[in-house]
Chain A
Amino acid sequence: MKSFIHNLLAPSRISCLACGKEISESVRGYPEICIGCYSSIPWITKSRCNICGRHVGCPDCSRKDMAPRHFLMNRSAVAYNTVMKEWLAQYKFRGNEAYQPLMARMMAEAMKRMLYELSLRGGNKKFRFDAVVPVPISEERMSERCFNQTRSLAFGAASISKASVLEILHRRQHTEKQSFKSRRERLESMMGVYTPSSDAQHCLISIMQKPVKQGRFHSLFENQKLTQNAPIRLLIIDDVYTTGSTVDACAATLQMLCKSIGATPEIYSLTWARS
């Protein structure tokens, strides 16, 4: 009886999503996890490899026999360590959608960092993406898992920028889950898997035509992409970047697509984890 009244009067305690313990204090902006779990997140704040965003020295990008990449660079929110693997597994494979807002927010943070980095590079001019493109899943996976986790991550990333989410890629056939393959098998299996969706061209053209306000003092004309030769900036979103083959294949398709409507693309990639 005493404990019953105690429970009524005590403030409600929720348990941490990741570790299950009661949250005694949480981090501002991250109400789902306890402070212990938050501090264990391996954020990648500085990437050592300029191209693929690895946080350690990168043997891949300096390989001589590397085929030219179709995207310019990749950045990731976190390193794909054991804890992050567990989180993604819970979300993606178990289907525990309680992780969705948490991971979307992590993408937003990574997006902020990426925009900042790119703005610095471009000489302090504010950097904008025109569209965010999530990597699609096949229909079979969709009916099995019932949601596309990359899509949620894309919306999370897009939430802090003015870019719209365009689902203009379609996954043609279902290949066996990548997680079971070796590096070489992954690279080879990616041929021709991603194709543009039926309304892809239409979406891209309407994006390009959208006038963009960039502050009161800039003229509108400056920003219309339809005036030729302004590159269209696309951001591909995926959950894990291992070899980059998935992102590369998507980027190749996007390149083809943009060429077909006469636009020059600049393709970047933002992934949740980098392994």
Chain B
Amino acid sequence: MKICLYAVRFEKGWQLRVSLDIRVDLRWLMMTGIGGEVDRDKGMMKNGSSEAIFVWLLSEAMPLGWAVTLRDFFKECPEMDNWRSEEWGNYLRRELKQEIKEEEKARGAGSEFTYGNRIKRQRIRWELLAGSSPCIIWEREAGLTPQGEFLFKQDVDSKQASGYIDMDEDNGGSKISNNTPTLTDKKSDMYSVNMWLSVAIGSERLSGALAGRSLLQAELQQLLAERLPELAPAWRSAVQHAHLEGRVQLTAGVALAAGRRGRGPLAARARLYRCRRCGSEVHRRTPCGACGLSGCAYCEACLALGRSRSCALLLRGSAGPVAPLAGGAAAGAQPFTESMLDRWGLSPAQRAAAASALCFLAARPQDRAIQHAFPLLSPRSCSLQINPSPQRFLLWAVTGAGKTEMIFPLLQYVLDRGGRALVATPRRDVVLELAPRIAKAFPEEKIAVLYGGSTQRWEEADLFLATTHQLLRFYRAFDLVIIDELDAFPYHNDPMLAFAARECCAASGKFVFLSATPPLTMQKEVKSGKLPHAKVPSRFHGYPLPVPRHISMTKLDDCIRRQALPKGLIEALDKSIQRGAQVFLFVSRIRHIEPAVKLLRRYFSKISIEGTSSKDEHRGEKVIRFRSTEIRILVTTTILERGVTVPKSDVYILDADSELFDEASLVQMAGRAGRSKDDPCGTVWLASPEWTKPQRRAIAQIRSMNAVAEKHGYLKIPSSKLSGKEVSRK
């Protein structure tokens, strides 16, 4: 989109500003007479704010990315006081030299439509991109200049559809509030008080709705359509007012990463653009009809949530005043007490971990020992205003330990203090599964469940449950962010998640990670003591984790070709069936499923055997039938490695040496066995030709967790009875 850019000279210096509706800015200057900034907390002008002396309109409509770059990198110099139109014009062109060069290259390359190989540069026409030359529009003594008046009284009809409030009094009535009285006819009063009042009211409501959110223009329209429909026709004016009040930040979706804007020899290096919303690098440039550039960059990583472009308007509402959460002199901020844990019915291991986490939450900011930047993010990107590292805590809970129940006391703690909390999970079905459980635990709280297509996207609540992508729509909004199943995230090596999680957490907020299999880097941090953590090494029922055993078996492909399965495997399967257990049979590839099912049916003809995968439409139904013991053996891929609880089950992992099964995956799959109280000792078999490192490490991890559990006395029976070192040699 194109946006207006102007320069205003205060008594203390120059400032560059962007505006969605210049009339609001002019009116603000005229009305308050003071162009300074308002101090939100005190509601008064900040100390040192000064009167505006004059205002230069630099461009009525220029590509938003350029305007924001100029504003953010503005350095004033004393000669500016005496500059005229031409000098301002030259200044703009000079500051944007790099951008103009890139644009000319993009045009010369002709994007996709030319056939030549040589990239020529095609000169841009400044007037087409940025409008006519700069002119002065307001002076303190004289008021609005003729150009200024022209701008102010602009005919709104053409613009009405796109969000400008209609200033024309003859049209009668304000567009925002139905409560303000209809206008009088004073033509001399260019901008009636009532109109201004309705803009102010609209801006107030908008700021409230935008608090803690980070939205593109299209998303803002959706929010308005749902919550504040009366604002939709005049959103530009309302947003600009809120911006002038300091409650809404206006910025561009894609911006230059810092440190690239120098002059001199180093400036010629390729400039790196980053998406402000998700933090990923942006390489893709296309011609854009909204801003007129041929090389407008857009971010592909977060494309699913709308296009974040160089010229896309990104609005960020500042979070409302937050009650200090931890420590401090505020009343009600006591350290936690044991009684807070009582109502949740936790097992001893869970209690200890939850207590530890609550200690972490209650700790004051100055108590933290070492701060660590999120490892995946480069610290050089300072122009993006990355959140200085919030504190993190890891709850390392084994499969079946009851992670969800453990976070309830944490949520309770934050909610009691009036804070906002967020629980983020990797997948939509996990979100849908957790929602009723959390709702049951917090019956009086309003809970917003967010995922692609959810109807609650724009609601206000104190407790949020969301998938990863939804985090991108928040900005410094939460006091507590709980990330569940950290290693299962779709892009767990992608810095986008780290960025999004960090940005949506308030400056003084805290992180809690939940996982049974934290990534290696985190495990190392735990070992070296850098990461506060708590282990929950035993399951809810108090029995140790089943330690996997090994069966020697060739590749499944070979078995399928020869149409024969090894005797050891069949014997083990038989034993499982005999004892009445359900059998999870994990294979590494979807193409193995059908042949494996057929092969197994030949050996076990009397029982129901089915296969499922992510491509299976009837997966949900098959899981239900498996739970009800109708299906006895379920052949599946890693799609079922997490989240599924089936009582009395054994687990078989074929091709356990496959590269698709890493340590975390093996631990998770093994975790499907022995979940319920009635059958806590399921067996787990790893079938492969030889031992491999991931297998050994998975077993080591499980054994060490059992050892820790025993040491702390959480286990009902000693684990040595269960962990067998038998390896059946075949």
Residues in A lying within 8 Å of B, measured CB to CB: 94-98, 100-101, 104, 140, 142-148, 152, 155
Contact = CB atoms under 8 A, between A and B. Distances in A.
Contacts of B288: 146-147
B303 interface: yes
Contact of A143 (B112, B287, B290, B307): B290
B284 A97 contact: yes
A143 B289 contact: yes
Minimum-distance CB pairs A-B, first 8: A142-B289, A146-B288, A143-B290, A95-B307, A146-B289, A146-B290, A97-B286, A155-B113
A143 to B, nearest CB: 5
Contacts of B304: 94
A143 B300 contact: no
B289 A147 contact: yes
Contact of B290 (A97, A104, A142): A142
Nearest to B285: A97
Contacts of A97: 284, 286, 298
Nearest to A143: B290
B1 interface: yes
Given A94-B307, A147-B289, 4 more contacts: A94-B303, A95-B298, A96-B300, A104-B112
Contacts of A94: 303-304, 307
A101 B307 contact: no
A80 B286 CA distance: 26
B218 interface: yes
Contacts of A96: 300, 303
B218 A95 contact: no
A97 B218 CA distance: 18
Interface in B277-321: 284, 286-291, 296, 298, 300, 303-304, 307, 309
Given A104-B112, A155-B112, A147 B307 contact: no
A155 B113 CA distance: 7
Contacts of B303: 94-96
Contacts of B113: 155
B112 A146 contact: no
Given A94-B304, A96-B303, A155-B112, A145 B286 contact: no
Q: Pick from A104, A142, A143 the residue with the most CB of B within 10 Å.
A: A143
A94 B291 CA distance: 18
Q: Pick from A143, A145, A146, A152 the residue with the most CB of B within 10 Å.
A: A146
Contacts of B298: 95, 97
B284 A146 contact: no
A264 B315 CA distance: 53
A123 to B, nearest CB: 32
Contacts of A140: 161
Contact of B289 (A100, A104, A145, A155): A145
Contacts of B218: 144
A148 B289 contact: yes
B1 A143 contact: yes
A28 B300 CA distance: 25
A147 B284 CA distance: 14
A147 B1 CA distance: 13
Contacts of A145: 289
Contact of A98 (B291, B300, B307, B309): B300
Contacts of B300: 96, 98
Given A146-B289, A148-B289, A100 B307 contact: no
Contacts of A144: 218, 290
Contacts of B287: 147
B673 to A, nearest CB: 30
A14 to B, nearest CB: 13
A96 B112 CA distance: 15
Nearest to B291: A146
A64 to B, nearest CB: 42
B217 to A, nearest CB: 9
A97 B289 CA distance: 13
Contacts of A101: 112
A97 B300 CA distance: 9
A146 B303 CA distance: 14
A142 B300 CA distance: 20
Contacts of A95: 298, 303, 307
B689 to A, nearest CB: 20
Contacts of A155: 112-113
A152 B218 CA distance: 24
A156 to B, nearest CB: 9
B562 to A, nearest CB: 26
Nearest to B289: A142
Given A95-B303, A95-B307, A146-B296, A100 B290 contact: no
A144 B222 CA distance: 14
A47 B296 CA distance: 40
Contacts of A146: 286, 288-291, 296, 307, 309
A104 B113 CA distance: 11
B346 to A, nearest CB: 40
A142 B289 CA distance: 6
A152 B286 CA distance: 12
Interface string B260-286: 000000000000000000000000101
A98 B300 CA distance: 9
Interface string B87-99: 0000000000000
B112 A100 contact: yes
B291 to A, nearest CB: 8
A143 B296 CA distance: 13
Nearest to A104: B112
A163 B351 CA distance: 76
A255 B588 CA distance: 61
Nearest to A145: B289
Nearest to A156: B112
Contacts of B307: 94-95, 146
Contacts of A147: 286-289
B290 A152 contact: no
A4 to B, nearest CB: 13
A142 B286 CA distance: 14
9 contacts: A97-B286, A98-B284, A98-B300, A143-B289, A145-B289, A146-B289, A146-B290, A146-B309, A147-B288
A147 B286 CA distance: 9
Interface string B157-173: 00001000000000000
A102 to B, nearest CB: 11
Interface in B205-228: 218
Nearest to A90: B303
A46 to B, nearest CB: 30
A152 B112 CA distance: 9
Contacts of B286: 97, 146-147
B239 to A, nearest CB: 17
Contacts of B290: 142-144, 146
Nearest to A101: B112
B381 to A, nearest CB: 24
Interface in B55-113: 112-113
Contacts of A100: 112
Contacts of B309: 146
A155 B112 CA distance: 9
B481 to A, nearest CB: 28
A46 B410 CA distance: 65
B278 to A, nearest CB: 15
A146 B294 CA distance: 11
A65 to B, nearest CB: 37
Contacts of B284: 97-98
A145 B288 CA distance: 8
A146 B296 CA distance: 10
Nearest to A142: B289
Interface string B9-20: 000000000000
A96 B303 CA distance: 7
Q: Pick from B113, B284, B288, B304 the residue with the most CB of A within 10 Å.
A: B113
Q: Pick from A98, A142, A144, A145 the residue with the most CB of B within 10 Å.
A: A144
A146 B298 CA distance: 11
A96 B296 CA distance: 14
A140 B221 CA distance: 14
